[in-house]
A and B are shown apart, each in its own frame.
Chain A
Amino acid sequence: MPNLKDLKNRIASVQSTRKITSAMKMVAASKLRRAQEQAEASGPYAERMGRMLSSLAANVQDSGNGPKLMTGTGADKVHLLVVISSDRGLCGAFNGSIVREAKRQITRLQGEGKTVKVLTVGRKGRDQLRREFASLIVESYEDVGRRRLGFSDADMVATKVLAMFDAGEFDVCSVVFNKFKSAISQIVTVQQLIPFAVPGEAVAATDEVKPLYEFEPDEEQILAELLPRNLSIQIYRALLESAASEQGARMTAMDNATRNAGDMINKLTITYNRTRQAYITKELIEIISGAEAL
């Protein structure tokens, strides 16, 4: 028969766990709201940047000598994967699914005989990838946007990627991140950054009449400035999506944990009460049979 004292301790400990998880859930919920607002706020810039890019690209593609960031190096040998994960755990399958996808990509690319390099953002992803692919990791960032994710954080990553690209260290760059769909569902997304695929066709179809722009200075120069900026923006968006997803995943995970703790407390309480009654009954029987024996 379980010891009453042990049961009591157990209940107390599960109760305090429940308190912690429910507090974490609240914190995640409020952080999620902030992260979502931030993600929404970055929408207009990205959208206008996209519009400008597609009208520029239309012009440059005609002339046939676009910058490397758009047309690529012509080779397809070395791939750089930017893997965005979180710094902290306790957020369900968030990091697991990112790492799984990253591993899948790495194995696929290596299977095709390509060289893979990995750049990680976030401690969890780095730790998990390091076990298998330590030699592939060229750079990792931690504590990105710990307080509040700023554009400068994304810029830092983008600068590194650009420096590597200019040095000819890779040909194709993709980013792996969790795209935020809702608090319960995040979609692991692989997005190609370099060479940058311009969503030209889709935009052109919706624009009724495309205005003929003048350019100052010329298209190539603007594009040469716009593309690195666009890279930062894409990374910034990915970081924001990932931050929102992380909080969403954590909120869901903590919600489940709180509910499980509640169930566990109920079960333990029932066991506790039954055991207590059994003790009382046992003692009564002892007293009665003792009295009868007299």
Chain B
Amino acid sequence: MADKVEFELVSPEKLLKSLPVDMVVVPGTEGDFGVLAGHSPLISTLRPGVIDVYEGDRIVDRVFVAGGFAEVTEARCTVLAEEAVALADLDRAAVDKQIKDLSEDLDDSKSDAERAAAEAKLAVARAKLDALTQSSAH
């Protein structure tokens, strides 16, 4: 498997990563998908989750994204993420606290819009926690 796929991770504020890799696993809305070189062109939305970057058989990088879009072509995989944090930088205690705060926000929310916003944030925070739990289980 000599071919590599050009992986790009972009946030609105800057280009976070741009490097050739063997494979990336991206958390699509309808299930995770792996991208190897020569993947058929695809555009997908993302759910909050973890992007795994593979070099050979090893995971070299794990990045949490809070949602966004992925564009895959034969030679390239571009992820447009709104929020991206390296998994190693996530702090379990902070995430726990965030979930607690957000749950309170949800209870306090008055209008539907507030409620929806709080729920969306909570979903992201829960996904962070899931990601952490999984990575510590590895």
Contact = CB atoms under 8 A, between A and B. Distances in A.
Partners in one complex: yes
B29 A48 contact: no
Contacts of A214: 40-43
Interface size classification for chain A? 20 to 34
Contact of A48 (B28, B44, B71): B71
B19 interface: no
A211 B12 contact: no
Nearest to A44: B15
Nearest to B73: A211
A213 B82 CA distance: 22
A211 B78 contact: no
B13 interface: yes
B91 to A, nearest CB: 20
Interface size classification for chain B? 20 to 34
A84 interface: no
Contacts of B15: 41, 44-45
Interface in B1-32: 8, 10-15, 28-30
Contact of B42 (A48, A49, A163, A216): A216
Contact of B13 (A51, A150, A222): A150
- What are the 10 closest A-B residue pairs judged by CB atoms, nearest first? A41-B14, A211-B41, A216-B44, A151-B12, A44-B15, A213-B41, A45-B10, A214-B42, A213-B43, A45-B12
Given A56-B43, A226-B69, 6 more contacts: A42-B12, A42-B13, A150-B13, A216-B29, A217-B45, A229-B69
10 contacts: A38-B13, A41-B15, A44-B14, A52-B80, A151-B13, A151-B82, A212-B41, A216-B30, A225-B45, A225-B69
Interface of B: 8, 10-15, 28-30, 40-45, 69, 71, 73-74, 78, 80, 82, 113
